[in-house]
Amino acid sequence: MFGLRCYHYLCILQVNIGREAIASLHRNAQLFMPTTTWNRHHVISLSDFSTAEYNTVLQTAASFQEVLSRRTKKVPTLQGQVVANLFFEASTRTRSSFELAAKRLSADTLNFAASTSSMTKGETILDTAKTYLAMGTDIMVIRHKEAGVPNVIASEMDRLGVRVSVLNAGDGQHEHPSQALLDLFTICTLIDPNHPHIEMLAGKKIAIVGDILHSRVARSNIWSLIASGAQVHLAAPPTLLPKLFAEYICTEKTDTLNGQLFLHWQLEPALQDADFVMTLRLQKERMTAHLLPSLREYHQLFGITRQKLQLCKPHVKVLHPGPVNRGVEISSDLMDDPEFSLIQSQVTSGVAVRMALLYLIGSGKV
Ligand code: NCD
């Protein structure tokens, strides 16, 4: 009993020493963090994010963007914590971006790819997650081709009573919160790099163009842009933007959508006077039927080109979450033109935004 009590006090002492050490390292590293309240344990969806939460992410990411511009790009914030990237589906930028973000915060990282894992021997997703739990994982970053998998793992961790956080890195056609947050950060920091806040987008016209039906990025973007007060114009052929889509969104947020969400089955009305254009990849891997006559025709009708951008505001910017089918959803020359394209900035912003998310859900655990 005495031994146990001693151990308990020792643990408290260690935690306090750990906190003090980290605080002093922060002071030395001169890392400015906005004072904020953050109660979210998992990040699965943006559908219930508050304005305060968006702004906390934006301001924290701005601080980390500043850290990333220094010669020493690392802070000790998550020292001793383990971040596991559990990617059950292919990824280039999201996986690497989460890995780099965790490393910049001094966490230990574990990378998992389903194709080279024991899942090929029949292990289940939950058993895989529990294996990483047993190794002391603090944060699981999860991508899966089925909607709901990150939520199931988060519920299992809560049921087990362990303090493991889950970050959704894209689940099926459901959501991709970190992508929408980095899109928001990219746009807001373009307007004011030092003080990005979501209210900056109130009244802006933002067109989302392309394969909306299959896009988890579009769903998360719709939640954040609606929350910002922007006017969101969706444009796609009817096969990729069914009328039902609006009903799905509206049943979730009937009161806030009036006058903010518009559906178009032609590109021009969505582009007219737009401030920003978000293009989406044609997600052929998720198409179960022939939804388009040809890629050539799709490009003619919905592909973004310099000529079509003339309908937009003069300073319009184009975003794309990547990977891009060059010459299909966006013309190749436009994609590479820094005057219009924010595609590279989106990738750069991704690291700061993911550092912010890992910091916000991870800093309470030390
Ligand atoms: C997106 C994804 O995987 O959902 N890409 C990304 O994460 N950067 C969009 C896509 O695959 O088209």
Q: Which residues are 317's β-sheet partners?
A: 276
| Mutation probe of ligand 1 site: the residue of 88, 94, 347, 349 with most atoms within 8 A of C-beta | 94
Give CA–CA dist 87/150, Å, rounded. Answer: 11
CB atoms within 10 A of CB 158: 14
Side by side, which strands form the sheet with 165-171?
A: 108-113, 82-87, 139-144, 165-171
Percent of the chain at pLDDT exceeding 90: 76
Q: Please state at what angle helix 343-362 crosses helix 177-191, rounded to 10 degrees.
A: 110
Give CA–CA dist 234/210, Å, rounded. Answer: 8
How much distance in Å is there from the Cα of 321 to the middle of ligand 1?
Answer: 6
State yes or no: pLDDT of 113 exceeds 90: no
Q: Say if residues 342 and 318 touch (Cβ distance below 8 Å).
A: yes
How much distance in Å is there from the Cα of 82 to the middle of ligand 1?
Answer: 25
Mean pLDDT of all residues in 189-195: 96
State yes or no: pLDDT of 24 exceeds 70: no
Q: What is the pLDDT of residue 6?
A: 36
Q: What is the pLDDT of residue 243?
A: 78
| 106-110, 218-222, 260-264, 335-339: least confident range | 260-264
Determine the atom of ligand 1 nearest the C-alpha atom of 170: 4
Q: What is the pLDDT of residue 8?
A: 36
The finding on whether 217 has its CB within 6 A of some atom of ligand 1 is yes
Q: Is the pTM of this model over 0.85?
A: yes
pLDDT (tens digit per residue) in 39-96: 999 999 999 999 999 999 999 999 999 999 999 999 999 999 999 999 999 899 999 9
pLDDT (tens digit per residue) in 255-294: 556 678 999 999 999 999 999 999 999 987 777 777 777 8
The finding on whether 283 has its CB within 6 A of some atom of ligand 1 is yes
Q: What is the pLDDT of residue 256?
A: 52
Q: Locate the domains of the chain by residue range.
A: 2-175+349-365, 177-347
- What is the sign of the dihedral through the CA atoms of 233, 238, 241 and 242? positive
The finding on whether 320 has its CB within 6 A of some atom of ligand 1 is no
Mean pLDDT of all residues in 111-136: 90
SS3 content of the chain, % helix, strand, coil (to 5): 50, 15, 35
State yes or no: pLDDT of 106 exceeds 60: yes
The finding on whether 322 has its CB within 6 A of some atom of ligand 1 is yes
Determine the atom of ligand 1 nearest the C-alpha atom of 89: 3
| Mutation probe of ligand 1 site: the residue of 176, 219, 284 with most atoms within 8 A of C-beta | 176
| 22-36, 161-175, 182-196, 322-336: least confident range | 22-36
Question: 3-state DSSP call for residue 168?
Answer: strand
| Mutation probe of ligand 1 site: the residue of 141, 173, 215, 217 with most atoms within 8 A of C-beta | 217
Mean of pLDDT over the chain: 88
Return the CATH class of domain 2-175+349-365: alpha beta
Backbone angles phi, psi at 50, to 5 degrees: -95, 165
Return the CATH class of domain 177-347: alpha beta
| Mutation probe of ligand 1 site: the residue of 85, 87, 179 with most atoms within 8 A of C-beta | 179
Q: How far is CA 230 from CA 193, 201, 222, 224, in A?
A: 19, 5, 10, 9
Rg for the chain, CA atoms, rounded: 21
Q: What is the pLDDT of residue 364?
A: 67
The finding on whether 286 has its CB within 6 A of some atom of ligand 1 is no
State yes or no: pLDDT of 169 exceeds 80: yes
Which contacts (CB < 8 Å, 24+ apart) does range 308-314 have? 308/267, 308/268, 308/271, 309/271, 309/277, 309/334, 309/340, 311/268, 311/271, 311/272, 311/273, 311/274, 312/207, 312/271, 312/272, 312/273, 312/274, 312/275, 312/277, 313/205, 313/273, 313/274, 313/275
pLDDT (tens digit per residue) in 120-129: 888 899 999 9
Comparing 250 with 361, which gets the higher pLDDT? 361
Longest Cα–Cα distance in the chain: 78
pLDDT (tens digit per residue) in 292-333: 778 999 999 999 999 999 999 999 999 999 999 999 999 999
Q: What is the pLDDT of residue 17?
A: 34
